[in-house]
Amino acid sequence: TGHGKIDEELLDDLEAILLSADVGVKTTGKLMQNIKAAIKKNEIQTADQLKPFLQDQINSILTGGETDGGKDYPAPFIIMVVGVNGVGKTTTIGKLGHYYRQQGRKVLLAAADTFRAAAIDQLEIWAGRTGAELIKHSEGSDPAAVAFDAVQAAKARKADVLIVDTAGRLHTKSNLMDELKKIRRVIAREIPDAPQETLLVLDATTGQNAVNQARTFGDVVQVSGVVLTKLDGTAKGGVVIAVKEELGVPVRWIGIGEGMDDLRPFDAAEFAGALFADK
Amino acid sequence: MVFEGLADKLQQTFKKLRGRGKLSEADVNEAMREVRMALLEADVNFKVVKDFISRIKERAVGQEVMESLTPGQYVVKIVNDELTNLMGGTQSRITISSKPPTVVMLVGLQGAGKTTTAGKLAHYLKKQNKRPLLVAADIYRPAAIKQLEVLGEQLEIPVFSLGDRENPVTIAQKAIQRALAYANDIVIIDTAGRLHINEELMQELKSVKQAVKPHEILLVVDSMTGQDAVTVAENFNQQLGLDGVILTKLDGDARGGAALSIKAVTGCPIKFAGMGEKLDALEPFHPDRMASRILGM
Ligand SMILES: Nc1nc2c(ncn2[C@@H]2O[C@H](COP(=O)(O)OP(=O)(O)OP(=O)(O)O)[C@@H](O)[C@H]2O)c(=O)[nH]1
Ligand SMILES: Nc1nc2c(ncn2[C@@H]2O[C@H](COP(=O)(O)OP(=O)(O)OP(=O)(O)O)[C@@H](O)[C@H]2O)c(=O)[nH]1
Ligand SMILES: [K+]
Ligand SMILES: [Mg+2]
Ligand SMILES: [Mg+2]
């Protein structure tokens, strides 16, 4: 881009940037319409106004719903973490546990993924690393029972934060989604309003399927926010724009690595900027 | 099922064309616009889509179409042909070495499904009377070794591990010795998930490759992957020289455009499809069937 005239080729380039960032054909179409309208109305006059205009649009879609870190809730603040297979749920829980531990809070982790091989061991290692306590049953046991015990333990031990890990599951599998509903119900029965936060973990490398994931998990367990992981790679995670716009679910956190410090509160402006960073 | 949405869309588009006797260039353009949208929604890489559409357009406005009695159907046939080509034509298998053990190394991004797929592949080959050995070469991820050991136990397939203190090169080398000593004819190496841009960890894979010369280096790819699939596959391919791809999580509703894109860009064939979390949920990948399925034909 330069100061020069806005031509078809320039607009095509912008469209390509959005599409290659997984913004999706529908949302990209809308954003491009807005640009064309702004050009018509003379709100955009030179080429170098194009990217800032787009970033602004994206920023305003994504702004709202930033995390307050659970400050305003009475203890125990219960976070349930859900998502499809392999997106980074357990790792994110380790990072979140570390985040709250650093604030000097007492953290409990619940190993309610009783299905995947060594999922409990994995969370146990994270508990050890972060100084959180772990509530676990044996592999193959009922995840809702783990959640129940964890809530009891959180109350009895006066934990500040309880984070519940769940097994990865594709949103299309209704029996597994029912199981998730049951876990949530068990938690809510013990503490009204809980879980106060239900985080859907989305992998930034995921394409348009993330919209389906957000829609179905949202319907089943009332997702309150998204964690966008693996932003340390080359994927941009642009599909969260559609997730926010179409479903109203905000991004709360981003994951930028495999270590326990690799979690950041989501920053809409920074995210919007990064979509165009290397272009 | 996967790809269904795309098939529906293309069918709707071509239903409109099918009725007509003759196609105008405007008709073809309109149809191609919809094909483009559908492919993009299916996460096919936008550059791949661009090439694909222009190839089809070229053929669709050509003489052969205009002269055919049912031009709409002819265009559908062209799309199907080109899609099949893009997917790689016929089924590709893994190479079994005449001098055992055959060494297979699974690589890919974090969480793609490598460890699970290692178990599935071992199970698949065991059913074909092979004697696989699983190798735990992920020394980084918490409980990665344990995960493979649990799978090995469930499958009654041996798992070779030296814990997480030895480096993957040594682990792989010793695993081969163990396979030779115990007559394991297939060695399947599970590696840690890594980013294609992480030079240190990519170098580690190159070193393993150099040390044990795998017959098959397979990239494991999540079928939900979006536009990044091409970048990832290109990078792994350039650095390691891939022999093929295994697509996972095809049991969901992802359209799986990554499959099309990777094949088109790297030329690497897709060899297997993961169809679930269970250890028997691995199938050989059939590109021709898949292409037909995309179009619902
Ligand atoms: N590069 C990178 N890798 C990540 C990030 N978050 C998680 N991972 C890695 O992704 C892989 C999967 O992470 P898990 O936390 O096991 O994912 P999960 O969603 O719990 O997986 P299942 O329980 O099997 O569904 C691991 O190798 C993690 O180290 C991230 O932000 N960046
Ligand atoms: N539904 C479904 N889940 C799968 C499939 N293949 C693997 N998974 C799940 O995906 C998640 C990640 O699988 P892993 O095998 O741990 O992935 P990985 O690539 O080894 O992960 P890292 O070692 O952390 O990089 C697990 O929950 C698996 O059960 C599949 O074909 N379908
Ligand atoms: K993934
Ligand atoms: Mg997990
Ligand atoms: Mg693994």
In the prediction, which pLDDT does B3 show?
Answer: 44
Q: Which residues pair with A201 in a beta bridge?
A: A227
Record: contact A239-B110, CB cut-off 8 A: no
Nearest to A111 by CA among A165, A160, A171: A165
Instruction: Please list, in sequence order, all residues whose beta carbon lies within 8 angstroms of the beta carbon of residue A12, skipping any fewer than 6 positions away.
Output: none
In the prediction, which pLDDT does A107 show?
Answer: 98
**Chain A neighbors of B109, CB-CB under 8 A:** 205, 230, 233
Ligand 2 is surrounded, with C-beta below 6 A, by A 85-86, 116, 168, 170; B 108, 110-116, 138, 141, 144, 192-193, 220, 248-249, 251, 274-277, 281
Residues A228, A21 contacting (CB under 8 angstroms): no
In the prediction, which pLDDT does B34 show?
Answer: 78
Please give the distance, rounded to the nearest whole angstrom, from the Cα atom of residue B117 to the centre of ligand 2.
Answer: 7
pLDDT tens sequence across B219-244: 999 999 999 999 999 999 999 999 99
E-assigned strands of A113-168? 133-135, 161-166
Chain B, residues 215-244, CB within 8 A of chain A, namely 222, 224-229, 231-232
pLDDT tens sequence across A48-81: 999 999 999 999 999 988 777 767 677 899 999 9
More confident residue, A263 or B87: A263
Q: Determine which residue's CA is closest to atom 14 belonging to ligand 1.
A: A88
| Distance in angstroms (rounded) separating the CA atoms of residues B237 and B57 | 30
Distances (CA, A) of A74 to A60, A174, A196, A222, B46: 31, 33, 10, 20, 48
Q: How far is B147 from chain A (nearest CA, A)?
A: 5
In the prediction, which pLDDT does A1 show?
Answer: 45
More confident residue, B291 or A169: A169
Phi, psi of A125 (to 5 degrees): -65, -40
Distances (CA, A) of B205 to A184, B178, B200, B217: 42, 20, 9, 10
Pick from A31-35, A39-43, B61-65: least confident? B61-65
- The pick from B2, B247, B277, B280 for probing ligand 2's pocket by mutation, whose C-beta has the most ligand atoms within 8 angstroms, reads B277
Question: Which strands sit side by side in the sheet containing A133-135, from one edge to the other?
Answer: A133-135, A107-112, A161-166, A77-82, A197-203, A225-229, A251-255, A263-265
In the prediction, which pLDDT does A60 show?
Answer: 95
pLDDT tens sequence across A77-111: 999 999 999 999 999 999 999 999 999 999 999 99
Pick from A226-240, A246-260, B14-28: least confident? B14-28
pLDDT tens sequence across B11-58: 676 667 666 666 677 877 877 887 888 788 889 999 999 999 998 888
Q: What is the ipTM of this complex?
A: 0.97
What pTM was estimated for this model as a whole?
A: 0.95
DSSP H helices, B136-243, are 144-155, 168-181, 199-212, 228-240
Nearest to A183 by CA among A132, A231, A221, A228: A221
Max Cα-Cα span within chain A? 67
- The pick from A258, A261, A263, A266 for probing ligand 1's pocket by mutation, whose C-beta has the most ligand atoms within 8 angstroms, reads A258
In the prediction, which pLDDT does B260 show?
Answer: 85
Residues B243, B95 contacting (CB under 8 angstroms): yes
pLDDT tens sequence across B235-277: 999 999 999 999 999 998 888 888 889 999 999 999 999 999 9
Does B164 contact chain A (CB < 8 Å)? no
- pLDDT averaged over every residue in chain B: 88
Mutation target vs A (from B34, B234, B277; most A CBs, 10 A cutoff): B277
| Distance in angstroms (rounded) separating the CA atoms of residues A88 and A50 | 35
Instruction: Please list, in sequence order, all residues whose beta carbon lies within 8 angstroms of the beta carbon of residue A264, skipping any fewer than 6 positions away.
Output: A253, A254, A256
In the prediction, which pLDDT does B20 show?
Answer: 61
Nearest to A85 by CA among B277, B270, B138, B120: B277
In this predicted structure, the answer to whether residue A204 has a pLDDT above a threshold of 60 is yes
Distances (CA, A) of B125 to B102, B175, B189, B241: 11, 18, 14, 23
Residues B140, B165 contacting (CB under 8 angstroms): no
The predicted model gives B105-120 an average pLDDT of 98
- pLDDT averaged over every residue in chain A: 95
Instruction: Please list, in sequence order, all residues whose beta carbon lies within 8 angstroms of the beta carbon of residue B74, skipping any fewer than 6 positions away.
Output: B60, B64, B65, B68
In the prediction, which pLDDT does B2 show?
Answer: 40
In the prediction, which pLDDT does B19 show?
Answer: 60
Distances (CA, A) of B237 to A24, A162, A236, B232, B253: 26, 43, 21, 8, 27
Q: Which two tokens stand for residue A266?
A: 């989501």
